[in-house]
Amino acid sequence: MKSNKSIFIATAEPFSGKSIVALGLVDMLLSKTQKIGYFKPIINQDPKIKADSHIETLISHFKLPLQYDKTYSYTREEANILAQSGMQDEIIDTIISKFKSLEEENDFTIIEGSDFLGEGTAFEFDANLAIAKNLGTPVIIVASGDGKSTSQITNAVNVTINNFLQRKVKVIGVVVNKVGKDNIKAVQDSLKNCLKKDIQVAVIPKITELKSPTMKEVMEHLNAEVMFGAEQLSNRADHFIFGAMQIANFLNHIKQNVLIVTPGDRSDIVLATLQASLSKNYPKIAGIVLTGGFEVPDSVLRLIEGSNTQLPILRVEEPSFYAATKVAGIHSKINPDNPEKIHMAVNTFRKYMDMEALEKNIANFKTQGITPRMFQYQLVSWAKSKKKHIVLPEGNDERILKAADRLVKQGIVNITLLGNVEEITVTVNRLGLALNQENCQIINPQESVYFDDYANTLFEIRKGKNMPLGVARDLMTDVAYYGTMMVHKGHADGMVSGAVHTTAHTIRPALQFIKTKPGISLVSSIFFMCLPDRVTIFGDCAININPSAEQLAEIAISSADTSAKFGIEPRVAMLSYSSGSSGSGEDVEKVRAATEIVKSKRPDILVEGPIQYDAAVDPITGKQKMPDSKVAGNASVLIFPDLNTGNNTYKAVQRETGAVAIGPMLQGMNKPVNDLSRGCTVDDIYNTVVITAIQAEEG
């Protein structure tokens, strides 16, 4: 029997929330295989006018190597014209033909059914049935529970499922989105009672972060002019209010992420909103829409410009009621320029869907090796299964806060932020993040109940080095020392720092009192290089400048053990400018000696050296230069002879191939402390915290 290589996402109504399922499926499948296809037979409009938001988001976010014109067959208008001419069979034949060519290029393909917008919805439903039937693909039904009772949801799902079952199309799951939180259990029970046991059921509540439009969507929907705050159009508008009352009453209606709709001649409302947005006593405001086409007085414009506000202010010609009605009718979409909403959708799918059961239902294939998406998916899964406690000393940095917010929302780790509590809280509110003292610790070291204990512990450890107690107390006010002491005392499982501080600042405290593991004499580093088709380990690219043969061997052994721990079979290449016995010189001899030390100390490790980079990673070159080697052409762990070579090579590979470099991850210490680069991104911080949490599992 041919193994299943596709899944069809179907619905029978508009705005059902198919994008959550689509994003979740692609994310899950990329952890299992490298090449994922995405196919939407009928799209809403010509891509030359506007790209389909689902296809664009999936290709962009997951970096799927798909050509846009291969991801669809017809626009809705094209399909309807053909259908009205009685050419339904030709439509289906063309769709199947185009899908098959896409399927041949990929390991697994996700098919997304129609959106059911505009005319021709009856034809679209029949077309979806015919496509699923002819492709022999299983189906996940997606339904909306928005504004529906339990019985209405159950009836709608049953009708849709029965239509597919009558055509002998296998339905493996049902996802009901936007269900009221008080109604979730009732919907689950009702569906499970009436559906076959082999149909998986997931019920997802209404989620404000996914439902609410951004200010950019408001601007586009109203065709509004942006007067101020263009850089903050990603602000989320959870609800809106009319600004047509007196100021004292108006201010009482300001809630988190509110959109203010007010006539353009109400300067008092505009100025009160601006002042509230700057006040720590009011929550974050999404933006303002000025209605009626009124010209804002020059005096008010000067005041707004001088206030240096970042609040989005839009202007429309329509009156307030008309504008507000249009705002209320916005159906927010998940777009590629809103990564937070994408992460929320993926995390929502993971949370409410039984992923293990779903994998068994839709996928029955294996691939060799480990791809970047498999690797990153597994990292998050491993970290989440243990949920370790990671301290981030640089709590005032916006990148740190954004990464911490994502980590906390996804339930991957417990977080402690260090720094001035009030300043961190103000920044969190300004950024519209969900961090607070209930979901993460925020600590000012000098005000901590552990401060004296930590300072005394440092004094006891370092008094042999003539460190006075006063110096120990001064050092403990430093967030790097305080965070490292949290790890040393077991109050945190690991630390990630370096977004603001130097490598030396991050590592020095760890070397003083966390120290290296027994049998390890030095701390080294590795990068996980997520290349387009595989993950390899590069070491040492960040710490040791010019290691000796003994140190190089130790780096290789530590890196091989790290590789195995993270699910990458270690095949170690000791790099040099010569392969095998072809070259000589001091540098080559150092690598040769290091290789022999590794073989002597750890005969279980597959290692080759000296070997050139091309012979290590390219099978053809490896076979030519070292035909008897088990590592040549297939190396997974690349050990560089010095920091100059390693650092430049990892950066060159990263820039030239677009590889994601996760790290540096420090290895060899008793407890995990990892260093960031000062140019790190939010994704870099996120990934480094995840690998730190996995390292902590050893403890």
Mean pLDDT (whole number) for 464-487: 90
Burial class (CB in 10 A: 0-12, 13-18, 19+), 295: exposed
pLDDT of residue 366: 37
Give the residue with greater pLDDT, 466 vs 560: 560
Q: What tens digit of pLDDT does each residue of 157-188 get?
A: 999 999 888 877 888 999 999 998 889 999 99
Contacts of 481 (CB under 8 A, 6+ apart): 458, 475, 509
CATH superfamily of the 215-328 domain = HprK N-terminal domain-like (3.40.1390.20)
pLDDT of residue 367: 42
Mean pLDDT (whole number) for 522-529: 92
250/243 Cα distance (integer angstroms): 7
Contacts of 267 (CB under 8 A, 6+ apart): 296, 297, 300
Mean pLDDT (whole number) for 623-636: 90
| 698 pLDDT above the threshold of 70 | no
SS (H, E, C) 628-690: CCCCCCCCCEEECCCHHHHHHHHHHHHHHHCCEEEEEEEECECCCEEECCCCCCHHHHHHHHH
Identify the weakest region by mean pLDDT among 23-32, 79-88, 248-257, 357-366.
357-366
Kindly list the domain boundaries of the chain, sorted by start residue.
Answer: 6-207+337-362, 215-328, 372-514, 524-668
- List 314's β-bridge partners, or say none: 226, 289
142/133 Cα distance (integer angstroms): 17
> Which percentage of the chain shows pLDDT scores above 70?
96
Instruction: Give the CATH class of 6-207+337-362.
Output: alpha beta
The phi-psi region of residue 17 (left if phi > 0; otherwise alpha if psi is between -120 and 50; otherwise beta) is left
Q: Tokens for 474? A: 């001064």
- CATH number of the domain located at residue range(s) 524-668 in this protein: 3.40.50.10750
Mean pLDDT (whole number) for 511-531: 88
pLDDT of residue 586: 84
- List 42's β-bridge partners, or say none: 74
Contacts of 194 (CB under 8 A, 6+ apart): 154, 158
Average pLDDT, the chain: 88
pLDDT of residue 365: 35
Instruction: Give the CATH class of 372-514.
Output: alpha beta
pLDDT of residue 38: 93
> Which percentage of the chain shows pLDDT scores above 90?
43
The residue length of the chain stands at 699
| 372-514 and 524-668 in the same fold | yes
- Please indicate, yes or no, whether the overall pTM of this predicted structure exceeds 0.75: no
pLDDT of residue 1: 37
433/441 Cα distance (integer angstroms): 15
Q: Tokens for 281? A: 């006593």
Q: What tens digit of pLDDT does each residue of 338-372 get?
A: 888 889 999 999 999 988 888 887 754 334 456 67
Q: What tens digit of pLDDT does each residue of 287-308 get?
A: 999 999 888 888 888 888 887 7
CB 674 within 8 A of CB 528: no
Identify the weakest region by mean pLDDT among 44-48, 183-187, 245-249, 602-606.
44-48
Nearest to 188 by CA among 178, 200, 173, 202: 202
Identify the weakest region by mean pLDDT among 84-88, 116-120, 695-699.
116-120
| 617 pLDDT above the threshold of 60 | yes
Residue 403: pLDDT band with limits 50, 70, 90: very high
Q: What tens digit of pLDDT does each residue of 99-151 get?
A: 888 888 888 899 998 877 666 566 678 778 887 877 778 899 999 998 899 99
